[in-house]
Each structure stands twice: as C-alpha cells, then as structure tokens.
C-alpha cells in the first residue's frame, strides 16, 4: 500500500517500505502497526504512526480491498441529489449503515456503475430510474448484493423496499371523490418512474370505479415547473370546481405558485392532493393535503436489507406504508 505525494514539483511514492526504513523495523511490523494488530507493542505502534503521519502516508484503498475483499462502503444510486426529498432518505441510510460499520457514498451517472464490478463498494442501494434493470440483474448474477427502491425484481442477491404507492393513490382519490361530482385532473410523473407509473395506474383504476367521473391527464415530470404548466392548463379549461391529484408535492407546489396569481381559490375552486409530504407542504396556504410516509424509515430499512445480504442472510422484501394528511386544500 502506498500514497503518491507531490513535493517540490515531483511525485514521491510513500509506501510501508519507506516507513519501515525510517523506523528501523520490518515491513511486517509496519503492517501490523497500521492495522492495529496486537502483535506490536503500543510504543512501537506509536512510533510507526508518528513516522507515517510525518511522511503523509495514506493507505491505498485498492490494495486494502484486494487483501480484505471489502471496502465497508455502500453506494446509493440516485437520479439527482436535489431537493429536501433525499435528505431524510440519506439520513436513514447513513445512520443505519453506520451502526453496522459501513459508510455511504452517493452516486449518479453511468460511469459510477463501475464501482460495483471494480469492487470500490461492497453493495448498492438503487433509487435511479436510469439504472437499467438488465444491468442490475447482471450484477446480481455475478454475486453483487443490491437493494432496489424503485422497481420490482426477484433475485436471491436483490432485496427491495418499495413504497405502498397503490394504497397512497387510493387514499388520495377517495378523499378527493368524497362529496364531489366534478371533473378530475391527474398530473403525472416521469415516464420512467416506477412510483409515478403505479400511482397513475392506481388513480385511473380507482376513478374508473365511480364510472361518471371526467378524468383529464396532464403530463408532468415531478418538477415545480411542470406543476405550473399543469395549473395554467387547468385555469384555461376551468368552468367549475375541479379535483387535482398531483403525483408528488413538488408539482403541487408549482400549481400553488400559479393559482395564487389568479382568482381561483385553492381548496374551493381547485381541490389538490399531493404525494410525499415534503416539509414545505405544511407551510403552504392553505396547507397541502398529501400522502405521507417515512423517508427516514425507507432509507433505514434499505440499509438493513443490504447488510443482511452482505452477511449471507436472506433479505425479506419490505413495504413502506402510506397515510393521508387532510387539510384545507380540499374543501369538504
């Protein structure tokens, strides 16, 4: 194991041989000291560690991985890191993994997929619609341990922790339908989103049960901007009170932004339910009705599942349950 250091225009390779030479001990003694082995005394270890620090020695991760066959690092693959949505999820992941001696790195983009076959991480948690299912299955077939949060896959090396999107969408539609006979709008999510797909299909199935509902589908992409565009379309078509199910809170927030500049009143003329219960939703006026679930628990359970797989145990698939938060954004 070695470290390359730039010094006075040159690159000096600092390895355990250099430490051993300066300390006047064997290479094996240095290795024992650096790895906190009981085979060396505390006095010898302190001396070697002081020399290592003086030489700016840093253990080489690749060499250490070859020896131990593990990095104690887990990768979480996300489509993006933006917004408050991910913070609670990452807290759950990080805290749960830390208890088991693992650390977490956030990954995005195709090049980072190489971290698995190159063994730069011990396993992966995936919430990234752009990560192909075929590629995930290929890694699982080669023995890599993975947990998915955004698709259904059956494989002995893959665990899954999914949101109960069906229950959440059913709650939203039933709440919007109670004592209401007007038109419905559904603002969709990205085409490649598993969560958006399940929420949309469930909402359509639930509305079909009522038979007499006029349903309008507006394409969205989970962004506030797409919510604003949806609101403009609804305003243009509006004749009487309508109910709107936005498949996430971000789009609902975008709708609020537009409607607050119009004469249409949220809660009366426009009845809205979102999904995700993002922190800002409770500060909207009126407060947004939304579907709630624990993002922290989602991350924590995903971490626990992956640790089980890494320990050679069988992971049991989990469901994160959803509940409805009612508010004046839907008048009754």
Say whether pTM exceeds 0.75.
yes
**Which residue bears the tokens 């619609």?**
129
**5, part of any domain:** no
Q: Are residues 154 and 180 in the same domain?
A: no
pLDDT at 266: 97
Please give the residue range of the domain that contains residue 251.
165-292
Q: Residue 117 belongs to a domain with what CATH number? A: 3.40.50.2300
pLDDT at 62: 52
CA 95/CA 174 separation, integer angstroms: 36
The answer to whether 119 and 65 have CB atoms below 8 angstroms apart is yes
DSSP state of 103: E
pLDDT at 210: 80
pLDDT tens column, 123-157: 999 999 999 999 999 999 999 999 999 999 999 99
Question: Which portions of the chain are predicted below pLDDT 70?
Answer: 1-13, 58-69, 81-84
pLDDT at 85: 73
Q: Are residues 37 and 57 in the same domain?
A: yes
* Domain boundary pick from 47, 68, 89: 68
Q: Are residues 56 and 121 in the same domain?
A: no
Q: Are residues 119 and 183 in the same domain?
A: no
Largest Cα–Cα separation, the chain: 88
Q: Are residues 91 and 155 in the same domain?
A: yes
DSSP state of 267: B
**197, part of any domain:** yes
The number of folded domains in the chain is 3
Q: Is 6 helix (H, G, I), strand (E, B) or coil?
A: strand
Q: Residue 35 belongs to a domain with what CATH number? A: 1.10.260.40
**327, part of any domain:** no
């Amino acid at each position: 194991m070695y470290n390359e250091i730039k010094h006075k225009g040159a690159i000096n390779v600092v390895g355990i041989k250099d430490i051993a030479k300066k300390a006047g001990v064997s290479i094996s003694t240095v290795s024992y000291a650096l790895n906190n082995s009981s085979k060396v005394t505390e006095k010898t270890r302190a001396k070697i560690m002081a020399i290592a620090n003086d030489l700016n020695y840093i253990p080489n991760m690749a060499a250490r991985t070859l020896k131990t066959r593990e990095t104690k690092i887990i990768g979480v693959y996300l489509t993006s890191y933006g917004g408050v949505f991910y913070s609670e999820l990452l807290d759950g992941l990080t805290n749960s993994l830390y208890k088991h001696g693992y650390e977490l790195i956030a990954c995005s983009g195709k090049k980072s997929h190489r971290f698995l076959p190159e063994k730069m991480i011990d396993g992966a948690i995936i919430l990234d619609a752009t990560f192909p299912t075929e590629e995930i299955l290929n890694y699982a077939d080669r023995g890599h341990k993975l947990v998915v949060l955004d698709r259904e896959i059956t494989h002995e090396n893959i665990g899954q922790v999914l949101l109960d999107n069906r229950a959440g969408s059913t709650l939203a539609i039933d709440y919007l339908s109670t004592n209401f006979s007007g038109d419905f709008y559904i603002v969709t999510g990205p085409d490649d989103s598993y969560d958006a797909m399940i929420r949309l299909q469930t909402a359509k199935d639930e509305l079909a049960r009522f038979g007499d509902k006029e349903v309008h589908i507006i394409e969205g992409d989970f962004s506030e901007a797409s919510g604003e565009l949806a609101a403009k379309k609804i305003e243009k078509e509006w004749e009487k009170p309508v109910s709107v199910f936005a498949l996430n809170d971000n789009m609902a927030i975008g709708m609020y932004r537009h409607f607050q500049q119009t004469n249409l009143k949220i809660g009366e003329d426009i009845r809205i339910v979102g999904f995700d219960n993002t922190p800002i939703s409770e500060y909207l006026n009126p407060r947004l009705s939304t579907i709630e679930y624990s993002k922290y628990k989602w991350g924590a359970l995903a971490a626990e599942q992956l640790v089980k797989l890494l320990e050679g145990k069988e992971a049991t698939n989990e469901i994160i349950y959803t509940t409805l938060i009612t508010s004046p954004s839907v008048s009754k």
